[in-house]
Structure 1
Amino acid sequence: MQSTANYLWHTGDLLGQGATASVYKARNKKSGELVAVKVFNAASYLRPHEVQVREFEVLRKLNHQNIVKLFAVEETGASHQKVLVMEYCSSGSLLNVLESPEHAFGLPEEEFLVVLRCVVAGMNHLRENGVVHRDIKPGNIMRLVGDQGQSIYKLTDFGAARELEDDEKFVSIYGTEEYLHPDIYERAVLRKPQQKAFGVSVDLWSIGVTLYHAATGNLPFIPFGGPRRNKEIMYRITTEKPAGAIAGMQRRENGPLEWSYSLPGTCQLSMGLQNQLVPILANILEVEQTKCWGFDQFFAETSDILQRVVVHVFSLSQALLHHVFVHAHNTIAIFQEAVCEQTGVAPQDQEYLFEGHLCVLEPSLSAQHIAHTTASNPLTLFSNASENPTGLTFRDPALDVPRFVPKVDVQSDYSTAKSALGAGHQALRLARTLLAGQELMLRGLYWFVEMLQATGRKTLDVTQTALLFLSSSLGTESSAAGVPELPEVKKAAELRSRLQTLAEVLSRCSHSVRETQRSLSALSAQLVESRDQVHADKSIQQIQCCVDKMFVIYKQFKKSRQRPGLAYNEEQIHKLDKVNFSHLAKRLLQAFQEECAQKYHASLVTYGKWLREVHETRTHLRLIGCSVAACNTEAQGAQESLSKILDLLSHQLLQDQTRSAQASPPLTAASPSPKSEGLIFHMQELCESMKLLAFDLQDNNRIIERLSRTPSAPGI
């Protein structure tokens, strides 16, 4: 045990160790509060005094939630060694998080954004206080869990930090070589003499490497054999990197350098976030300090990302989930343009469903009016494009599963198990994503089919009502028997013929809608059955079981590698564990490939067929809508013509009555002709029927038009 006046710790509770100090978990003697103490070793006292006290002075100056707090500076009782008493972060460092097999391919998007927010906020506080850290890396970013279970990351280890303004330079060498700016690397690692001075932008390079590492699980610059074994190539990669490239790799000894301008497909960040992040990485991973962004631009661009909200959009035509990052104050028109960039669907062709209902997006409104979405409850985008859905493209996790060496090599076996377990976690994530994708595409298509069915039912109801009125109107033809041969009567007969044609068209439309409804009902039943099969899928549980068992063996291998050697019996058990681990990995990959990947691709084929069927049905219903609209126009024209005929006949009847009254004896009342009365009654009856018919056809037309309008129209 060691102690200061107020704190004590055990040397076995080591949290971390560096060249000049060790960090231990300690307790307050009075309260029992857990803290971290940084105890400096003899080597630290060989440094100049101003360097020794610099860390104390820097930490006293800083006070921010994303920077580890300094509580006190004390001394040990016997040796009088300086001790920094600091905030204890119980969840280790970002490096610990990234070294977990679960994060072998990088952090999930939500966690990465937390890291980005915390690092940017901490660095901004450093720059506001004129401090350059000079050793930014995942190992110097500590993690703790907040009261609500959220991650909080804090910058720590200010042993290399110093006060430096934006226009100042320094020449001393600090840092960890994989994260060093190439100019510092050349002098510190390759030991080449050079007279360059370094500015605050060296921290930006280290941040770029750290963010790439957090996003992908790997370093951006990897020579054959690794950064520590091939230092000259490491330097070449960083200095010869083309503009815009964010990563470089040498795959074989003396092989060519390969450049990457995007993040690997295995990382968990959405394309929406990658599109925002990659330009930032490209501009801070710039070897020439004059071309590298300054902190002001870095803070501006990262803050722009962090101030955006994500809208989840599932494209039915692609069978893909998109994360669209927009500002809440942006207009919906800007959101639609962002959707277009990711999906290729033009704004005027975008139609949305949300929770099964048509979602009307008014382009002039702000994006904050968009409903709150999640990955499992996104906006569902439907477009007129009838293309084969591509679905999710992914790298087969089997390609990332290494084989054990035949002999017992605890270090090699541990590394192999760690990589294989990382691939197992990747397979588990992919399995969940593929299953969720199937659920989204089946559910979204089911909702759209339901909407088409509802429209079909309304169309059928109104069309049937219109047919009844037509039948009633056409059935009154006998009441006009014996009517005098007048031009108006002939014209009315022609109108009746047009009405007969109209009735036949509506009858065909009614029959067609019924057939469409039956087809949609059958498709709806198939979609429900397919969704039930997705819900009953047990492949994720199978993969999870394999991962859990592999993790137990991996933990044992992790313990074994820390020992100098294994006894005979322990070695035999180790061999059996290797065999069992390999069998579990094989079962896991088989479950993924046969139960997940193959079923997913088969479902895409079936889904594509159903999607085309829905497109055809929708087009068919729109054609019916056009026919009904034409019927509406005919009905309106007939109704207007009949009204004119009725007015004319009424006028003629009045004239006949007037003439008869003038020609008859004064005491005799004039009476209209029975035939004229029958004609007038018949025309009035027909006109009233046509008025009702026109009204119902207009209502029918409005319903049909709603389906064919753009998303800015009112929803059904």
Structure 2
Amino acid sequence: MEYCSSGSLLSVLESPENAFGLPEDEFLVVLRCVVAGMNHLRENGIVHRDIKPGNIMRLVGEEGQSIYKLTDFGAARELDDDEKFVSVYGTEEYLHPDMYERAVLRKPQQKAFGVTVDLWSIGVTLYHAATGSLPFIPFGGPRRNKEIMHRITTEKPAGAIAGAQRRENGPLEWSYTLPITCQLSLGLQSQLVPILANILEVEQAKCWGFDQFFAETSDILQRVVVHVFSLSQAVLHHIYIHAHNTIAIFQEAVHKQTSVAPRHQEYLFEGHLCVLEPSVSAQHIAHTTASSPLTLFSTAIPKGLAFRDPALDIPKFVPKVDLQADYNTAKGVLGAGYQALRLARALLDGQELMLRGLHWVMEVLQATCRRTLEVARTSLLYLSSSLGTERFSSVAGTPEIQELKAAAELRSRLRTLAEVLSRCSQNITETQESLSSLSRELVKSRDQVHEDRSIQQIQCCLDKMNFIYKQFKKSRMRPGLGYNEEQIHKLDKVNFSHLAKRLLQVFQEECVQKYQASLVTHGKRMRVVHETRNHLRLVGCSVAACNTEAQGVQESLSKLLEELSHQLLQDRAKGAQASPPPIAPYPSPTRKDLLLHMQELCEGMKLLASDLLDNNRIIERLNRVPAPPDV
């Protein structure tokens, strides 16, 4: 086969950068390659019998991508699914418990083994790749406490994927999930853990067969990832779905991870509202990345990114010079340092996503304010123009036209509605000013995030620590050090410890504390956003109600004016036949003027009714997007 110049999967996992497991993208490459390799072996009826990270070689492709290949077939043999073998091969940490009992503990037993022993080894290998450590660890290590190692693997409860003994002669502790230090998203973990639980099964009758293993792993590998940032919770989620799934299935997957019911899920993408129809294919969802996710807007309490403090995983140097021990300690400290760097980036990215998402929500609310204000002001303008007719005012006050009293009352109601619309307009204007003030705060906060230099400070410490670590790596291969070299080695240990302390200080003070403060501020801002949004909905409803009532009053007034106009025409006809009336002590409008005015006012009211109806339609469209319930 071709030369694999990038070492093995074991050498990748031994690197301090991967002390807590592979990144999600790289893990999926490992999973894809291992499944493809095992599928090829099973199609040809071959059992490997020594699957482990050291036998999975890494090759870098032409485009820089990793390619992993199964190697070392010294223990392989042809074996069909229904056949058994009795010879024992393999590496003890990855051996099936039945084979471990015979090969490591040297206990006589007559068990025969089937092809599923490879599944156990695959399970241990995948757990190692995902977490950076073995799943079953007795106190003192697997090779120092072999009896407890066997106990852990054979007494493991159903569903458990890991077991450990924390202290000498202590109890066994079981894990049913991957550790919090794992770099895999909860979305991928939820797919992977059931597979690990069913192939890390001691009883061969309960263990999955290869057919089910291939079906379940292929199901993962065929899924696409939709990145969703829950703005209220301030958490980034990876939603694994099939491209042929519907939006409804996607929303249910979001519900499982966020506890936000589908009916309360609203999405923004790059500043625009995304209306997702449950029956439509998920293929219509925009292409997302971790830095450009869908933003989920809902009511929820901010909880932020959950993580373990890297300081808890940092070992301490022994006082004396022990080259191997110093190397191991430096490797552990450096691994925790890289974990701190990853967390620092995640915390900073989280702050950026919080601020960007809030900025988009502000823009949506400002747009809602502008549209609602335009509707309110337009309605107010029409009402004011109809109420400002001087001729109608003078007519309504003359003693001989008391029939206009009802029309005057309706007109008074229109004036009241105009006052309500005026107050709504003022209210919306004040809300706009409040939103603008909050937007300016967001811009200021984003500038502070962009100016943050904590990542560079941590990286600088890591570079210096990495240089010392490489010196320790070379020194451990030597039988001993001279006096001068030993003094330099001691000084390197002191410097290494100081750098680690400085790194953790930056992480805690510049990253964690700022992130926690940003969560508190984010929670306050989200409450303001929800209150503002609910307030705008109420104002919009008030504007809509005013428009509806004004439309009804206008119709009544228009009908009354038509009746009065008809009556005036009749009076005019009668007056033409009668004697001329005496001269009035005060000037009053002629009946002709009154008739013309009534006709003009009637036409104006008809136009007003049409405009109010259009305004109502606009308000209905503004209120179509459902809002989440109050917190």
TM-score interval (norm. to shorter)? over 0.9
| Residue number in structure 2 paired with 1:495 | 410
Q: 1:691 aligns with which of 578, 584, 609?
A: 609
Q: 1:466 aligns with which of 358, 379, 386?
A: 379
1:451-488 CA distances to partner (integer Å, 9 max, x unpaired)?
10121122222222222221111111543534687787
| Residue number in structure 2 paired with 1:105 | 20
The structure whose residues are more often strand, as a share, is 1
Give the aligned residue type for 2:233.
Answer: Q
Q: Report if the CA contact (8 A) 1:212-1:219 is conserved.
A: yes
Q: Report if the CA contact (8 A) 2:562-2:599 is conserved.
A: no
1:316 aligned onto 2:231 = yes
Q: How far does residue 704 in structure 1 lie from its aligned partner after superposition?
A: 3.5
| Residue number in structure 2 paired with 1:148 | 63
How many angstroms apart in 1 are the aligned matches of 2:598 and 2:522?
A: 60
| Residue number in structure 2 paired with 1:231 | 146
Call closer, same or farther: CA 1:710–1:611 in 2, change over 3 Å: closer
Higher relative contact order (CA 8 A, sep 6+): 2
Q: Report if the CA contact (8 A) 2:365-2:533 is conserved.
A: yes
Give the aligned residue type for 1:100.
Answer: S
Q: How far does residue 490 in structure 1 lie from its aligned partner after superposition?
A: 3.0
Give the aligned residue type for 1:288.
Answer: E
Q: Report if the CA contact (8 A) 1:314-1:381 is conserved.
A: yes
Q: Report if the CA contact (8 A) 2:407-2:561 is conserved.
A: no
How many angstroms apart in 2 are the aligned matches of 1:416 and 1:709?
A: 54
The structure whose residues are more often helix, as a share, is 2
What is the percent sequence identity of the aligned residues? Answer: 78
Unaligned segments of structure 2, at least 5 residues = 580-589
| Residue number in structure 2 paired with 1:185 | 100
Give the aligned residue type for 2:323.
Answer: V
| Residue number in structure 1 paired with 2:113 | 198
Give the aligned residue type for 1:535.
Answer: H
Q: What does residue range 449-598 of structure 1 map to in structure 2 within 5 Å?
A: 449-476=362-389, 478-479=391-392, 481-482=394-395, 489-598=404-513
Q: Report if the CA contact (8 A) 2:268-2:274 is conserved.
A: yes
Give the aligned residue type for 1:233.
Answer: I
Q: Report if the CA contact (8 A) 1:131-1:164 is conserved.
A: yes
1:640-659 CA distances to partner (integer Å, 9 max, x unpaired)?
22332344345445555666
Q: How far does residue 507 in structure 1 lie from its aligned partner after superposition?
A: 1.0
Q: What does residue range 247-258 of structure 1 map to in structure 2 within 5 Å?
A: 247-258=162-173
How many angstroms apart in 1 are the aligned matches of 2:225 and 2:569?
A: 74
| Residue number in structure 1 paired with 2:189 | 274
Give the aligned residue type for 1:440.
Answer: L
Q: What does residue range 46-65 of structure 1 map to in structure 2 within 5 Å?
A: none
1:674 aligned onto 2:592 = yes
Q: Report if the CA contact (8 A) 2:565-2:595 is conserved.
A: no
How many angstroms apart in 2 are the aligned matches of 1:511 and 1:676?
A: 37
Q: Report if the CA contact (8 A) 2:391-2:597 is conserved.
A: no
1:631 aligned onto 2:549 = no
Q: 1:648 aligns with which of 532, 539, 563?
A: 563
Give the aligned residue type for 1:684.
Answer: C
| Residue number in structure 2 paired with 1:418 | 331
1:313-345 CA distances to partner (integer Å, 9 max, x unpaired)?
000110000000000000001000100110111
| Residue number in structure 2 paired with 1:45 | none
Give the aligned residue type for 2:389.
Answer: T
How many angstroms apart in 2 are the aligned matches of 1:335 and 1:708?
A: 19
1:569-613 CA distances to partner (integer Å, 9 max, x unpaired)?
111111111011001101100010000001100111111111111
1:245-274 CA distances to partner (integer Å, 9 max, x unpaired)?
000000001000000000000000000000
Give the aligned residue type for 1:630.
Answer: A
Q: How far does residue 708 in structure 1 lie from its aligned partner after superposition?
A: 4.3
Tell me the secondary structure at the aligned position of residue 623 of structure 2.
helix
| Residue number in structure 2 paired with 1:47 | none
| Residue number in structure 2 paired with 1:429 | 342
**TM-score with structure 1 setting the length:** 0.83
Q: Report if the CA contact (8 A) 1:470-1:503 is conserved.
A: yes
Q: Report if the CA contact (8 A) 1:280-1:301 is conserved.
A: yes
Count of aligned pairs between the two proteins: 617
How many angstroms apart in 1 are the aligned matches of 2:553 and 2:614?
A: 14
How many angstroms apart in 1 are the aligned matches of 2:401 and 2:79?
A: 105
Q: What does residue range 255-334 of structure 1 map to in structure 2 within 5 Å?
A: 255-334=170-249
1:348 aligned onto 2:266 = no
Tell me the secondary structure at the aligned position of residue 113 of structure 2.
coil
| Residue number in structure 2 paired with 1:604 | 519
Q: How far does residue 636 in structure 1 lie from its aligned partner after superposition?
A: 1.9
Give the aligned residue type for 1:697.
Answer: N
1:490-548 CA distances to partner (integer Å, 9 max, x unpaired)?
33222212111111111111111111111100100000100000000000000001111
How many angstroms apart in 2 are the aligned matches of 1:407 and 1:192?
A: 41
1:35-67 CA distances to partner (integer Å, 9 max, x unpaired)?
xxxxxxxxxxxxxxxxxxxxxxxxxxxxxxxxx
1:447 aligned onto 2:351 = no
| Residue number in structure 2 paired with 1:34 | none
1:200-222 CA distances to partner (integer Å, 9 max, x unpaired)?
11000000000000000000000
Give the aligned residue type for 1:225.
Answer: G
Tell me the secondary structure at the aligned position of residue 534 of structure 1.
helix
How many angstroms apart in 2 are the aligned matches of 1:206 and 1:632?
A: 72
1:702 aligned onto 2:620 = yes
Q: Report if the CA contact (8 A) 1:480-1:678 is conserved.
A: no
Give the aligned residue type for 1:153.
Answer: Y
Call closer, same or farther: CA 1:479–1:636 in 2, change over 3 Å: closer
Call closer, same or farther: CA 1:232–1:99 in 2, change over 3 Å: same
| Residue number in structure 1 paired with 2:296 | 381
Tell me the secondary structure at the aligned position of residue 152 of structure 2.
helix
Task: Report the RMSD for the aligned CA atoms in angstroms.
Answer: 1.9
Call closer, same or farther: CA 1:583–1:480 in 2, change over 3 Å: closer
Q: Report if the CA contact (8 A) 2:562-2:602 is conserved.
A: no
How many angstroms apart in 2 are the aligned matches of 1:302 and 1:569?
A: 55
How many angstroms apart in 2 are the aligned matches of 1:517 and 1:482?
A: 42
Q: Report if the CA contact (8 A) 2:565-2:599 is conserved.
A: no
1:152-188 CA distances to partner (integer Å, 9 max, x unpaired)?
1110011111111111111010110000000000000
Q: Report if the CA contact (8 A) 2:37-2:69 is conserved.
A: yes
Q: Report if the CA contact (8 A) 1:488-1:645 is conserved.
A: no
**TM-score with structure 2 setting the length:** 0.94
1:397 aligned onto 2:310 = yes
1:367 aligned onto 2:367 = no
Q: How far does residue 306 in structure 1 lie from its aligned partner after superposition?
A: 0.5
Q: How far does residue 305 in structure 1 lie from its aligned partner after superposition?
A: 0.6
Give the aligned residue type for 1:571.
Answer: E
Give the aligned residue type for 1:250.
Answer: Q
How many angstroms apart in 2 are the aligned matches of 1:142 and 1:546?
A: 31
Q: How far does residue 693 in structure 1 lie from its aligned partner after superposition?
A: 4.3
Call closer, same or farther: CA 1:661–1:303 in 2, change over 3 Å: farther
